């Protein structure tokens, strides 16, 4: 188990810090001297899950590497909101090249550092789901296949948000995007499509693959830290709700990520060498409806002209995840 | 232009600080301290959340001092309080209420063991207050008045101070060394106690003192007419408990019937068991649900083998039997006779039908109004006669030790205010930290292996006096179950979850601050605050 | 050391002497022999430290080079044709970021129809990518240009593309003088990056720039290429001092001083043209040749000076701007009065440019018969047949296959 055993009932290990915890057991995000790799003044929307996920992940990586780290960023929201000339929000060495090449650029950074005798400096590549599962996928697979010494992090908000919420290979069934409008007999994105990149990453048998959400900070930090224990290609897939694209309240970002995991729609697990080694069990199981109803991208599923059958199909997806990964204790 | 690095393509770190994203905001998060339900429920007005906060971190003395700010009897309270705090506790809706009472007892016992005392820092006012009655209300008032710098004299009719704490609550619930220790600590603050002293002329006392606080309690047992044969043995519970305390226990026989459904009935029945009765039966005219006795008392009595007979009245008592009539509840919940009778074996009948205050000392005092056998007082606890205040069981109120202690505190503050010709008003309480304001996700579930341990610890704390209360580890454990409803406990969630790094962590005990230069007003900190201590407010202007 | 060596090998050896720290390779003909040779250098340990990365695409090749260069590593790759187009987005990005990557383009045609043979369509398509483009005339120059390219690139923080004709140079065995490691080390200082990703001094590279500064950024890129107009000849002369031979520079004028007609071209075809011109000079024709080595930046002044008072300029181009004509021509017309300039499109998809064809074409030029746009050795019969088929019916079939069928068994003429 990545998490510390529960020692007391007040808040245990679920909060960020807590004065009662040993400092070593507090999250990196609890530290006054955390890196703030992504600093104030960035132009992400209110309640942006990606901004949160990126700071969580990179601060943890900075801590794990003793601040010896370089980040490579794909084009996308994260890049655009963090570095509009003349302001950058990054406090780490950071490079943006193109939309589809971040994993390869990261490989180049790692290769350059190795040739220069600086293997102590670690490389993190990062991008959104478009830059990872779609346009950057060739480079990602190449990086995996060569087992280049790169941790690649996908901040998955399930569509092309930067360009105005278009469907990506990570858009879930029934979700409304601007290219899968909520009209017609099967409104929203269709069933039977989409790409499971964590599973594909595992098929490359790279040293480490994990999923996480912004709702469980300590788990996310653990996984980044764990990833840094390995040399070679590593992949972390982080679910980051997008208030704009998902049509959710800006204050609900973490709540929604939590419900994604607790409903079983987003399995949280880790794998080494292509085999699942641990899963985060569902703690308070909820029906997918609890998750869907908070997002207007699913609004067409409910109400007078709703699609209860579609909700049932989504529930079946969650149930299948629960079976496949053993997400519920004792099931 | 910086020609060292490529223009515009390459930027120096930290430059985004120039972009003050706070301008985007339409609502802003604001930290608050709400009123936790435990605090709201506490008749003594304890800031329970705050003392648990100290206890959680192992700061037992600080925790105890926080209790002492409101209540000078933690060790007594930790034994006899009916725990309205635990009934109100939000944790009860999550798994089980925090064992506040058992932690209070631990802290009270720690104080007695370590001899902690409360320093008096107020300068002497030269005012002298007479307190009539050394029960919980009187002693509590004495303690607070001393802290406020007033001289205090207590005149009490009993042989020893404590009132109902001594003469109404049996030893197995409240060991006398504990009671004595806490009373002695108050007396040691310079309170003059005149025991065995009946005050008969309150108006005369007012010439001697600047104010008077009456807290004589309610020691007179209510009687009911029960047709009885010559050989019937009938006594009242007040007398029974008093005599036991005076080490002159009456002979009760093997079979004791206690008539009544209040806490005193339970005490009487349990005391009867301890005096050797093999059968102790409580007869009550209504149902358990409608019984005034607290659940915990009923449960403990039952656990000790006390039997209950519901929906029954005693129609007649004879030498070795009582006749009871079965009752039924009418539409309004009142018991109505059925005409069905039953005989029960009984050597003694103990009447526990409630108590009344002895208000003889107020005869002829101008301005005093009484109603239903108690003295009418205003919100300041002053009677209709200027300078005469009253509290505890002799005023309209539920009668518990905790309420009496609260009256004592309030009376002290009101008397102080009256003496200073001021106007003491308690500050407007904060909004209630209700359960719906919490994000309970963050509170750990009870671990399966820990729960039985917790149960055992609680039983020890409330049931078996001989083995003592919680030890330090279980007390700490219990304290840490507190959800800190509505009050920041520095969990770092807001600091961690802000996507804009707009929460500034000020360091231990200093909590946090919102950086409104950068806060975009997304509200994640509000959603993810476990204890509901942040709220969104419309942007001013 | 003078050796009889394949062009690719000579280039690979020269690159290795430049001590690249990251070499990324994706195979495409006719570039393969270069990266194969470099692979051997790295695998054998002769080139160390160096990371040889076998990427999954040319897009990745350039991207890996970008990442490596951004941490201060000397980065090299090679490609051709479709590969260059496939990496095009990253090609622009490398120059935009000001990363001094050196890339060999083994020039090859672009499909469809797919064609592996030489012309300049590929590198010409990237002429506005912000890279410096140097075109080699010989294998010796190809090798030498790489040594100079690293120095130019790193001094200016601009990437350099060294273009050499596919097969004609890459696969040709010629005598090449390969310098010693000491000589190259003395000529090429260690790479000192203008910007670098360094945890000790973090910066953000690759910002988003809006209208408020984008023009300035582009202007500065242009200004740096203008600096290259001075640096390229300077480096060439320093190279000549160090190695005792002339390679590189902006242009190579040949017998232009009194020429009435000047032929302008890039790359290996210059040899054939010079031979032809020599022969015509023997017949008393005042003809000269101007080889352009630096196509980007385009040396307007050097071209203007070399052309001088010549009446007629014939630009022989191995690429076609479909819909208008010459690409090099358009640039030359910025240097000399446009009316004097004719375009001859030649050697597309590997068609041989023979002296005989050149003689015929130049004779027409002298006689004033040369059209403004001429396709050398164009097979009018083939075109006529296809145009007729297209006129006859909508479903005239695939054009390339039709032409090949018309050619019958004489397809060997294509080579």
Q: What are phi and psi of C204, to 5 degrees?
A: -105, 120
Residue A308: what pLDDT?
Answer: 96
Question: Strand, helix or coil at B382?
Answer: strand
Per 3-state DSSP, chain C is made up of helix, strand and coil in percentages (nearest 5) of 45, 20, 35
Decide: B170 and B244 in contact? Cβ < 8 Å: yes
The Cα-based distances of B209 to A265, B127, B387 in angstroms read 75, 8, 9
All domains in chain C, ordered by first residue: 2-243 (3.40.50.970), 251-375 (3.40.50.920), 389-414 (no CATH)
- C117/C99 Cα distance (integer angstroms): 30
Name the pLDDT band for C409 (thresholds 50, 70, 90).
low
Which residues contact residue A19 at a Cβ distance below 8 angstroms, ignoring those fewer than 6 apart? B57, B489, B490, B491, B508
- A318/A285 Cα distance (integer angstroms): 11
Query: Residue ranges of chain A with pLDDT lower than 70?
Result: 1-13, 331
Instruction: Name which of B204-218, C239-253, C386-400 the model is least confident about.
Output: C386-400
Distance from CA of A297 to the nearest CA of B (A): 19
Q: What is the mean pLDDT of residues B90-102?
A: 89
Q: B225 — contact with chain C (CB < 8 Å)?
A: no
| Token pair 């790094």: residue | B501
Number of inter-chain CB pairs under 8 A, A vs C: 168
Residue B478: what pLDDT?
Answer: 83
Helices C139-156/C214-243 angle, 10° precision: 130
- C296/C290 Cα distance (integer angstroms): 16
A17: left (phi over 0), alpha (psi -120 to 50) or beta: alpha
- For chain C, percent of residues with pLDDT exceeding 90: 94
Residue among A122, A65, A35, A109 at smallest CA distance from C196: A109
Residue B469: what pLDDT?
Answer: 65
How many beta carbons lie within 10 A of that of residue B372, not counting itself? 7
Residue among C178, C122, C168 at smallest CA distance from C147: C178
Residues of C in contact with B6 (CB under 8 A): 97-98, 157, 194-195, 205, 220
Residue among A126, C158, C152 at smallest CA distance from B9: C158
All domains in chain B, ordered by first residue: 15-33+488-538 (3.30.70.20), 39-117+441-475 (1.10.1060.10), 128-219+357-419 (3.50.50.60), 222-354 (3.50.50.60)
Dihedral, CA of residue C214, residue C219, residue C222 and residue C227, to nearest 10: -130
- For chain A, the residue count is 331
Q: What is the mean pLDDT of residues B499-522?
A: 96
Question: Strand, helix or coil at B349?
Answer: strand
Chain A interface mutation, best of C20, C60, C201, highest count of A Cβ atoms under 10 Å: C60
The Cα-based distances of A104 to A134, C123, C227, C351 in angstroms read 14, 23, 31, 37
Decide: C49 and A112 in contact? Cβ < 8 Å: no
- A194/B421 Cα distance (integer angstroms): 78
Q: C213 — contact with chain A (CB < 8 Å)?
A: yes
Chain A interface mutation, best of C64, C89, C96, highest count of A Cβ atoms under 10 Å: C64
Residue B462: what pLDDT?
Answer: 38
DSSP A130: I
- A308/A297 Cα distance (integer angstroms): 15
Residues of C in contact with A70 (CB under 8 A): 71, 197, 199
Residue A150: what pLDDT?
Answer: 98
Touching C: which chains, 3+ CB pairs < 8 A? Answer: A, B
Q: What are phi and psi of C98, to 5 degrees?
A: 70, 40
Q: For chain C, what is the total number of helices (H) and then of strands (E)?
A: 15, 16
| Token pair 């990520």: residue | A257
Element (H, E) at B477: helix B472-479
Chain C interface mutation, best of B4, B6, B15, highest count of C Cβ atoms under 10 Å: B6
In the numeric block, which tokens belong to residue B538? Answer: 């419309």
Higher-scoring residue by pLDDT: B202, B466:
B202
In the numeric block, which tokens belong to residue B64? Answer: 């105890």
Decide: A72 and A100 in contact? Cβ < 8 Å: no
Chain B interface mutation, best of A9, A48, A89, highest count of B Cβ atoms under 10 Å: A9
Across chain C, mean pLDDT equals 96
Burial C293-325 (b: 16+ CB within 10 A, else e): bbbbbbbeebbeebbeebebbbbbbbbbbeeeb
Decide: C51 and A112 in contact? Cβ < 8 Å: yes
Q: What is the mean pLDDT of residues C158-182?
A: 97
Q: A110 — contact with chain C (CB < 8 Å)?
A: yes
Q: Which of A19, A49, A89 has its CB closest to that of B490?
A: A19
Q: For chain A, what is the total number of helices (H) and then of strands (E)?
A: 11, 8
- C225/C242 Cα distance (integer angstroms): 25
Residue C414: what pLDDT?
Answer: 47
Decide: A125 and A153 in contact? Cβ < 8 Å: yes
Residue B466: what pLDDT?
Answer: 36
In the numeric block, which tokens belong to residue B113? Answer: 């063991």
pLDDT in tens, C234-249: 999 999 999 999 999 9
Q: A131 — contact with chain C (CB < 8 Å)?
A: no
Q: What are phi and psi of C254, to 5 degrees?
A: -135, 110
- B435/B89 Cα distance (integer angstroms): 9
Instruction: Name the strands in the sheet holding C373-375, side by side, starting at the edge strand that comes first in the sequence.
Output: C251-254, C287-292, C261-265, C312-317, C341-345, C373-375
pLDDT in tens, B134-182: 999 999 999 999 999 999 999 999 999 999 999 999 888 899 999 999 9
Name the pLDDT band for C400 (thresholds 50, 70, 90).
confident
DSSP-assigned beta bridge partners for residue A249: none
Across chain B, mean pLDDT equals 90
| Token pair 């309209």: residue | B396
Decide: B21 and B518 in contact? Cβ < 8 Å: yes
Please return the burial class of A223, using the count of CB atoms within 10 Å of its CB with bins 0-12, 13-18 and 19+.
buried
Question: Strand, helix or coil at B251?
Answer: coil
Whether C203 sits inside 8 A of B11 (CB atoms) is yes
- C76/C100 Cα distance (integer angstroms): 9
Residue B349: what pLDDT?
Answer: 93
- B474/B453 Cα distance (integer angstroms): 9
Decide: B449 and A7 in contact? Cβ < 8 Å: no
CA angle at B15 for the pair B12 and B18, rounded to the nearest 5°:
165
Residues of A in contact with B536 (CB under 8 A): 251
Distance from CA of A205 to the nearest CA of B (A): 33
Model-level pTM? 0.91
- B313/B323 Cα distance (integer angstroms): 8
Residue C415: what pLDDT?
Answer: 41
pLDDT in tens, B326-348: 999 899 888 999 999 999 999 99
- B211/B128 Cα distance (integer angstroms): 7
Q: H helices of C87-180, where? A: 88-96, 121-125, 139-156
Burial C327-346 (b: 16+ CB within 10 A, else e): bbbbbbbebbeeebbbbbbb
Touching A: which chains, 3+ CB pairs < 8 A? Answer: B, C
The Cα-based distances of A207 to A156, A227, A274, B411, C268 in angstroms read 21, 9, 7, 72, 49
Distance from CA of B251 to the nearest CA of A (A): 50
- B534/B489 Cα distance (integer angstroms): 12
Whether C21 sits inside 8 A of A118 (CB atoms) is no
Distance from CA of A266 to the nearest CA of C (A): 30
Q: C67 — contact with chain A (CB < 8 Å)?
A: yes
Decide: C133 and C190 in contact? Cβ < 8 Å: no
Residue B463: what pLDDT?
Answer: 35
- B81/C176 Cα distance (integer angstroms): 102
- B495/B105 Cα distance (integer angstroms): 35
Q: Which residue ranges make up each domain of chain A?
A: 34-325
Residue B454 has pLDDT above 60, yes or no: no
Whether B508 sits inside 8 A of A19 (CB atoms) is yes
Q: Which of C194, C202, C214 has its CB closest to that of B6?
A: C194
Whether C202 sits inside 8 A of B13 (CB atoms) is yes
Q: B528 — contact with chain A (CB < 8 Å)?
A: yes
Q: Which of C21, C24, C206 has its CB closest to that of A95?
A: C206
Q: B531 — contact with chain A (CB < 8 Å)?
A: no
Q: What are phi and psi of C394, to 5 degrees?
A: -65, -40
Strands B374-375 and C75-79 turn out to be: unpaired
- In CATH terms, the superfamily for domain A34-325 is Thiamin diphosphate (ThDP)-binding fold, Pyr/PP domains (3.40.50.970)
Q: C24 — contact with chain A (CB < 8 Å)?
A: yes
Helices B176-187/B100-114 angle, 10° precision: 60
Distance from CA of C124 to the nearest CA of A (A): 23
How many beta carbons lie within 10 A of that of residue B187, not counting itself? 19
- C319/C322 Cα distance (integer angstroms): 9
Q: What is the mean pLDDT of residues C300-309?
A: 97
Residues of A in contact with C59 (CB under 8 A): 100-101, 104, 138-139
Q: What is the mean pLDDT of residues B426-448?
A: 85
> How many CA atoms lie less than 13 Å away from B387 in the CB half-sphere?
17
- C365/C367 Cα distance (integer angstroms): 5
Residues of C in contact with A104 (CB under 8 A): 55, 59-60, 63-64, 67
Instruction: Name which of B213-222, C70-79, C338-347 the model is least confident about.
Output: B213-222
Question: Strand, helix or coil at A45?
Answer: coil
Name the pLDDT band for B468 (thresholds 50, 70, 90).
low
Chain B interface mutation, best of A3, A15, A39, A290, highest count of B Cβ atoms under 10 Å: A15
């Amino acid at each position: 188990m990545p998490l510390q055993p529960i020692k007391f009932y007040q808040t245990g290990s679920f909060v960020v810090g807590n004065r009662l915890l040993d400092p070593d057991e507090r999250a990196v995000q609890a530290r006054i001297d955390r890196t703030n790799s992504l600093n104030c003044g960035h132009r992400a929307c209110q309640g942006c899950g990606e901004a949160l996920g990126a700071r969580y992940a990179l601060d943890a990586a900075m801590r794990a590497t003793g601040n010896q780290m370089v980040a490579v960023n794909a084009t996308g929201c994260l890049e655009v909101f963090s570095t509009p000339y003349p302001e950058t929000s990054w406090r780490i060495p950071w490079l943006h090249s193109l939309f589809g090449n971040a994993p390869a650029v990261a490989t180049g950074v790692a290769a350059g550092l190795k040739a220069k005798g600086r293997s102590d400096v670690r490389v993190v590549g990062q991008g959104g789901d478009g830059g990872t599962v779609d346009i950057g996928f060739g480079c990602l697979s190449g990086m995996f296949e060569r087992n280049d010494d790169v941790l690649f992090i996908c901040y998955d908000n399930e569509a092309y948000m930067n360009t105005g919420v278009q469907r990506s290979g990570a858009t879930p069934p029934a979700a409304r995007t601007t290219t899968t409008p909520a009209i017609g007999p099967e409104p929203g994105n269709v069933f039977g499509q989409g790409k499971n990149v964590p599973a594909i990453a595992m098929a490359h048998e790279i040293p480490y693959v994990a999923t996480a959400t912004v709702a469980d900070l300590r788990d996310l930090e653990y996984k980044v830290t764990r990833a840094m224990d390995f040399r070679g290609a590593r992949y972390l897939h982080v679910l980051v709700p997008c208030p704009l694209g998902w049509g959710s309240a800006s204050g609900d970002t973490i709540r929604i990520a939590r419900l994604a995991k607790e409903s079983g729609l987003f399995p949280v697990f880790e794998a080494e060498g292509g085999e699942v080694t641990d899963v985060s069990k569902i703690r308070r199981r909820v029906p997918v409806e609890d998750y869907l109803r908070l997002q207007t991208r699913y609004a067409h599923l409910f109400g007078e002209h709703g699609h209860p059958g579609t909700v049932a199909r989504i529930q079946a997806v969650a149930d299948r995840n629960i079976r496949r990964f053993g997400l519920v204790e004792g099931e | 232009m910086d020609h060292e690095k490529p223009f515009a393509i390459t930027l120096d770190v930290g430059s985004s600080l120039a972009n003050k994203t706070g301008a985007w905001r339409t609502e802003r998060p604001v930290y608050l301290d709400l009123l936790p339900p435990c605090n709201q429920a506490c008749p003594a007005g304890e800031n329970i959340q705050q003392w648990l906060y100290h206890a959680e971190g192992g700061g037992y003395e600080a925790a105890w001092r926080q209790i002492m700010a409101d209540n000078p009897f933690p060790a007594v309270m930790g034994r006899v309080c009916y725990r309205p705090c635990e009934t109100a506790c939000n944790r009860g809706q999550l798994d089980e209420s925090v064992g506040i009472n058992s932690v209070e007892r631990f802290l009270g016992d720690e104080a007695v063991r370590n001899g902690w005392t409360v320093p008096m820092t107020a300068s002497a006012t030269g005012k002298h207050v007479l307190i009539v009655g050394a029960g919980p209300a009187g002693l509590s008032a004495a303690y607070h008045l001393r802290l406020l710098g007033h001289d205090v004299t207590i005149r009490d009719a009993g042989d020893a101070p404590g009132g109902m704490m001594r003469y109404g609550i049996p030893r197995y619930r409240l060991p006398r060394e504990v009671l004595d220790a806490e009373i002695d600590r108050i007396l040691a603050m310079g309170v003059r106690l005149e025991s065995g002293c009946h005050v008969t002329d309150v108006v005369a006392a007012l010439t001697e003192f600047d104010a008077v606080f009456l807290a004589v309690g309610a020691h007179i047992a209510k009687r009911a007419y029960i047709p009885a044969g010559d050989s019937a043995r009938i006594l009242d519970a007040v007398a029974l408990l008093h005599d036991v305390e005076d080490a002159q226990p009456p002979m009760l026989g093997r079979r004791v019937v206690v008539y009544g459904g209040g806490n005193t009935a339970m005490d009487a029945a349990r005391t009867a068991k301890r005096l050797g009765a093999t059968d102790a039966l409580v007869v009550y005219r209504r149902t358990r649900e409608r019984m005034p006795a607290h659940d915990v008392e009923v449960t403990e009595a039952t656990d000790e083998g006390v039997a209950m007979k519901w929906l029954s009245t005693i129609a007649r008592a004879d030498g070795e039997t009582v006749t009871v009539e079965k009752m039924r509840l009418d539409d309004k919940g009142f018991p109505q006779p059925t005409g069905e009778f039953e005989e029960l074996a009984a050597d003694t009948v103990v009447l526990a039908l409630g108590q009344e205050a002895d208000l003889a000392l107020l005869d002829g005092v101008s301005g005093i109004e009484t109603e239903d056998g108690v003295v009418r007082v205003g919100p300041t606890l002053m009677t209709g006669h200027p300078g005469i205040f009253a509290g505890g069981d002799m005023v309209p109120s539920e009668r518990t030790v905790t309420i009496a202690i609260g009256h004592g505190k309030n009376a002290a503050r009101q008397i102080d205010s009256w003496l200073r010709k001021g106007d003491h008003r308690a500050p407007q309480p904060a909004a209630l930290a209700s359960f719906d304001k919490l994000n309970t996700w963050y509170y750990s579930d009870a671990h399966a292996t820990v729960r039985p341990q917790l149960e055992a610890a609680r039983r020890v704390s409330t049931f078996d006096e001989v083995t003592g209360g919680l030890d330090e580890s279980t007390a700490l454990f219990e304290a840490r179950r507190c959800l800190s409803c509505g009050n920041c406990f520095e969990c770092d969630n807001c600091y961690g979850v802000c996507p804009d790094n707009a929460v500034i962590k000020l360091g231990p005990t200093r909590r946090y601050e919102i950086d409104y230069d950068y806060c975009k007003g997304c509200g994640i900190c509000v959603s993810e605050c476990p204890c509901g201590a942040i709220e969104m407010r419309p942007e001013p202007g | 050391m003078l050796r009889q060596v394949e062009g690719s090998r000579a280039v690979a050896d020269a690159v290795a002497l430049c001590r690249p720290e990251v070499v990324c390779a994706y195979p495409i003909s006719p570039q393969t022999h270069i990266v194969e040779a470099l692979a051997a250098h790295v695998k054998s340990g002769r080139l160390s430290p160096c990371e040889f990365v076998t990427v999954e695409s040319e897009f990745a090749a350039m991207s890996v080079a970008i990442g490596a260069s951004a941490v201060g590593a000397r980065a090299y790759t090679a490609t051709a044709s479709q590969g260059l187009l496939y990496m095009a987005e990253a090609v622009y990005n490398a120059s935009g970021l000001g990363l001094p990557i050196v890339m060999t383009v083994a020039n090859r045609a672009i499909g469809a129809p797919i064609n592996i043979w030489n012309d300049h369509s590929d590198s010409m398509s990237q002429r506005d990518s912000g890279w410096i483009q140097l075109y080699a005339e010989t294998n010796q120059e190809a090798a030498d240009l790489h040594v100079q390219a690293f120095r130019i690139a790193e001094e200016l923080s601009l990437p350099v593309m060294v273009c050499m004709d596919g097969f004609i140079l890459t696969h040709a065995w010629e005598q090449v003088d390969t310098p010693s490691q000491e000589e190259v080390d003395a000529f090429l200082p260690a790479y000192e990056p203008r910007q670098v990703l360094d945890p000790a001094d973090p910066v953000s590279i690759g910002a988003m720039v809006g209208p408020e500064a984008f023009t300035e950024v582009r202007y500065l890129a242009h200004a740096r290429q203008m600096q290259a107009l001075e640096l390229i000849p300077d480096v060439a002369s320093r190279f000549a001092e160090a190695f005792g031979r002339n390679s590189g520079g902006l242009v190579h004028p040949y017998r232009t001083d009194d020429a009435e007609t000047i032929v302008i071209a890039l790359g290996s075809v210059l040899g054939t043209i010079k031979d032809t011109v020599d022969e015509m000079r023997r017949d008393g024709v005042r003809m000269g040749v101007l080889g352009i080595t630096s196509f980007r930046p385009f040396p307007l002044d050097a071209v203007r000076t070399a052309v001088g008072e010549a009446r007629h300029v014939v630009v022989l181009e191995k690429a076609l701007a479909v819909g208008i004509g010459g690409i090099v021509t358009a640039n030359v017309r910025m240097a000399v009065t446009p009316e004097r300039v004719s375009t001859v499109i030649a050697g597309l998809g590997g068609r041989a440019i023979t002296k005989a064809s050149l003689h015929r074409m130049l004779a027409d030029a002298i006689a004033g018969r040369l059209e403004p746009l001429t396709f050398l050795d164009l097979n009018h019969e083939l075109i006529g047949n296809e145009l007729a088929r297209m006129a006859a019916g909508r479903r005239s079939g695939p054009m390339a296959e039709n032409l090949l069928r018309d050619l019958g068994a004489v397809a060997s003429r294509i080579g």
